[in-house]
Structure 1
Amino acid sequence: MNKRIRQYTALFAALIVYYIVHEGAHLIAALSMGVFKTINFMGLGIQIDVYNTQMTDLQMGIFCLAGAISTLIIGYAMVFASPMICRSHSKIFRAIMYYVTITLLLLDPVYLSVLCGLFGGGDMNGIALLVPEWIARGFFGLLVIANGLLFWKVILPQYTRSFKEEAKVS
């Protein structure tokens, strides 16, 4: 498989993993609270719909925060697993894990710090029921910086070294 196809395949897989983790956390939260309504398939994404009138502000905040918390936890687990992942002989596996790690570490923090103001809020609407929006956006902005540095200083060098070593052997 050539490099470009591997990259697009890995990016597509990362988006699927992101939706499974993020929306899966919303689904688990909704089911555990007894407020699950339906799963909406919308264009390129999915959304878990709930009976929000049956939810307290705390429940709505937890429901909205669940997706971001789950992506970050799995993203950090991927950081810790990266030395093992980089030893894999499968280029496609390493490429997928690379893009999954980037996506899980950065997508929600970028959305919840900057993009939510441009696209209607989404999960931020519920998170703002727990803490003032400016605090939440500031916190997620700090996570963008911290996770970006984590990626740049830890993940990128590991995977770069992994792919270069593979190229030398080939």
Structure 2
Amino acid sequence: MRKYLYLVLALIIFAIIHEGTHALVAVAFDEYQTFVIHPYGLEVIFKTPVAEREGIKWGFISGMSNVVTLLLGYLLFLFRTKMKPVRNPIINALGYWMIVIFMLADAFNLSIGPFIYGGDINGIVEGFGINRYVIQSIFFMIVLLNRELIVQKLLPVYGIKTKHPLFQSWIKLK
């Protein structure tokens, strides 16, 4: 049960950082209205209705949170070997889950997520004028690369071994 507690805590930290970044960037563009907590997660409400949103600011409001969480994931990944020897099991477990979530969640959100629920990609497409399938393709490659990094570099640090095909190496990284 305790291991799931760390997963849930990592998800909460991720949601706060992701949605908090949306809120901070929205404040910078004077678009922040309120912050709502739903049973399924957090949501930032903006002043401008979705149908009226246009301009590059929406690319930044929608996209910056994805960049921030991915960069934090990579930063934590770089320190994976320094975090693991820490004798505190809470830091170890939380660090592991934060690396996994921060490296995969928003890459998934911008690659596969739009087929299911839309999400941040709509503001990025509107704001930057980039084709949605180009964005989805780039972030799908990031999902695959990050999955390989996790399988080949993170799991061994934490001594995790499995035969599950999703957690086996598909390509050899150096």
TM-score normalized with structure 1 length: 0.86
Question: Residue 30 of structure 2 corresponds to which residue in structure 1?
Answer: 34
For 1:82, the equivalent position in structure 2 comes to 80
Residue 10 of structure 1, aligned match among 3, 6, 17: 6
Q: Which has the higher contact order (CA 8 A, sep 6+)?
A: 1
The root-mean-square deviation of aligned C-alpha atoms, in Å, is 1.5
Unmatched 5+ residue regions in structure 2? Answer: 161-174
Find the counterpart in structure 2 of residue 20 from structure 1: 16
CA contact (8 A) 2:108 2:139 kept: yes
For structure 1, the residue ranges without an aligned partner over 5 or more in a row are 162-170
Contact 1:29-1:63 at 8 Å conserved across structures: yes
Q: Write the mapping of 1:2-151 to structure 2, written as runs, cut at 5 A.
A: 5-52=1-48, 56-119=54-117, 121-129=118-126, 130=128, 131-151=130-150
| Whole-angstrom CA distance in 1 between matches of 2:65 and 2:57 | 13
Query: For 2:37 and 2:16, how far apart are their aligned partners in 1?
Result: 13
Q: Which of the two has greater helix per residue?
A: 1
TM-score (norm 2): 0.84
Q: What is the alpha-carbon distance in structure 1 between the residues aligned to residue 61 and residue 137 of structure 2?
A: 20
State the aligned residue count. 156
Percent sequence identity is: 25
Match of 2:170 in 1: none
Query: Which 4+ residue blocks in structure 1 deviate beyond 3 angstroms?
Result: 53-56
